[in-house]
Structure formats: structure tokens, C-alpha cells
Amino acid sequence: MSIFGYARLNNQRPTPKNMGIRNQVKIIQSWSEENGFAIRKIFRDTISNSASLELPNLKKLISLIEQGEVSVLLVARLDRLTRIIRLHKKLLDLFEEKNVRFVSITEGLDSKSRSGKKVLEALRIMALWDAKSIPDRTRSMIALKREIGECVGHAPFGYTYQKKHLVPLEKELIIASIIREKREDENLSYHKIAKLLNSQRMRAKRGGRWYAETIKVICENPLYERDLKADTELLSR
């Protein structure tokens, strides 16, 4: 039986209580002795970034697992493997595929026990939920930043950034007003509006051509729904 341990510490964060590298190694060694296991090696990483599997010794350990050289993997605590739930899922899937018994000592987690299997399965479900919710959280964050005028990527048509806040551009807002009028009052398609603007040499952002998708963004962006009328009225005074 090939038994390995793994210990990790982020040297850019405060050391977790009783979870320095030496303490992790002692926990792994003590558990192994109590259970009659002889450890072949304990891999150790002391790094500045724990949000990755691209750690020097973790990569070596993963390579051994992929080669079928690991029977049991021991860690002192679950977050010493990784703190990122999606990476937990990736590793747990690998352990299952390669029939590796995974033990997290502090939590009493053992992938071969009934309770351990249930907990690890719950982690997989949470990882799937987290992955699916990332796009929604990202969109909400971007929308909130735009709502308060903070810099998010390129400034939308009709605006520029000054000191990380949106500032209206008169010429562009006039064109944006024409676009929305053509869509809302005349019910023109996005393609026809783009064609009209290009024929009249009204330029898009940075002097580019208009396309249906660009027109659609201006027609559907809540920023314009909320601000366009007020901005154009202010600028016309």
C-alpha cells in the first residue's frame, strides 16, 4: 500500500492555529502510527498563492496519483489541500477515478467510510452549484458597479471614464437618443438602424462602424433606460 501525505501553507496569510507545516506533518504522522500505516512521503508546499493546483509539490503528488502510484492520501485538514471548492471537486473526482482513499484527519473525513462519502459528495454538489452561480454573481457585480458609476471595462457608448466614474459625452448621447427613438418610435430593426447610422457617417465608439449587436446593447442596456433622458436634457440646456 502506497501512503502519502500532503501539507500546505500560504506564507502571505496568517498561519492558521496549530496548522503550521510542522504541526500538519505531526498530525499526519501521529494518525498514521495509530492506524498502523507506513508513510512513504509527505509532500509540502509553502507558497504565496493557494488558489491553484499548480504548486510544485502538489503537482508531483497529482502526477503520482494519475500514474496509479498512490493508495492513500492524508491531509491534516481539508483546507490544507485547497481552499477553493471547485478545485476540491477536481481532486475528489481524480481520487475516485484512481481509487485513492482520501483522509482529512481533523474533520475525521475518510472517503472509504459511509459518512465520509456523504460529506465528500456534498462538497461535489456545492462545487457544481458554485460553478453555475459564478456567471450570475459576475453579472450582478458588474451591474452594481455600473449602477454607481464605477469603472467596468470599456465605457459604454455615450460615456467616458474620468477618475473611474462615468461622465456623459454630448455627441455620443445624441446618437444614442436617435438609436432608441428609431427602435421605440419607428420600430426599426437593429440591422436597419445600424445601416442608417453608417450611411449617415455617424460613428460608433472609437470611430468604428455600427452593427446590429451594438445597436441592441444600446437599446437594451438599463443604463440608457435610466440615464439617457436626464443626460440629454441636461446637456441641451
Domain segments of the chain as ranges? 3-133, 148-236
Q: Contact 151/165 with Cβ under 8 angstroms?
A: yes
Over residues 168-183, mean pLDDT: 87
Q: What is the mean pLDDT of the chain?
A: 81
For residue 103, give the nearest of 77, 66, 65 by alpha carbon.
77
20-34: per-residue pLDDT in tens?
A: 999 999 999 999 999
- 119 or 58, which is more confident? 58
Q: Contact 70/61 with Cβ under 8 angstroms?
A: yes
Alpha helices by DSSP H, listed for 154-221, are 170-184, 190-199, 212-220
What is the pLDDT, as a whole number, of residue 47? 85
Name the range with the highest mean pLDDT among 17-26, 74-83, 142-151, 199-208: 17-26
Cα distance between residue 211 and residue 194, in whole Å? 5
The radius of gyration of the chain from alpha carbons, rounded to an integer in Å, stands at 28
Cα distance between residue 92 and residue 113, in whole Å? 15
What is the pLDDT, as a whole number, of residue 234? 43
pLDDT at 141 over 70: no
Superfamily in which the 3-133 domain is placed by CATH: Resolvase, N-terminal catalytic domain (3.40.50.1390)
Cα distance between residue 38 and residue 161, in whole Å? 62
**Torsion-angle region of residue 161: left (phi > 0), alpha (psi -120 to 50) or beta?**
beta
Cα distance between residue 192 and residue 16, in whole Å? 62
pLDDT at 88 over 50: yes
Query: What one-character DSSP code corresponds to residue 20?
Result: S
What is the pLDDT, as a whole number, of residue 237? 47
φ/ψ (deg, to 5) at 103: -125, 125
What is the pLDDT, as a whole number, of residue 232? 46
Cα distance between residue 88 and residue 80, in whole Å? 11
Q: Contact 100/65 with Cβ under 8 angstroms?
A: yes
What is the pLDDT, as a whole number, of residue 150? 58
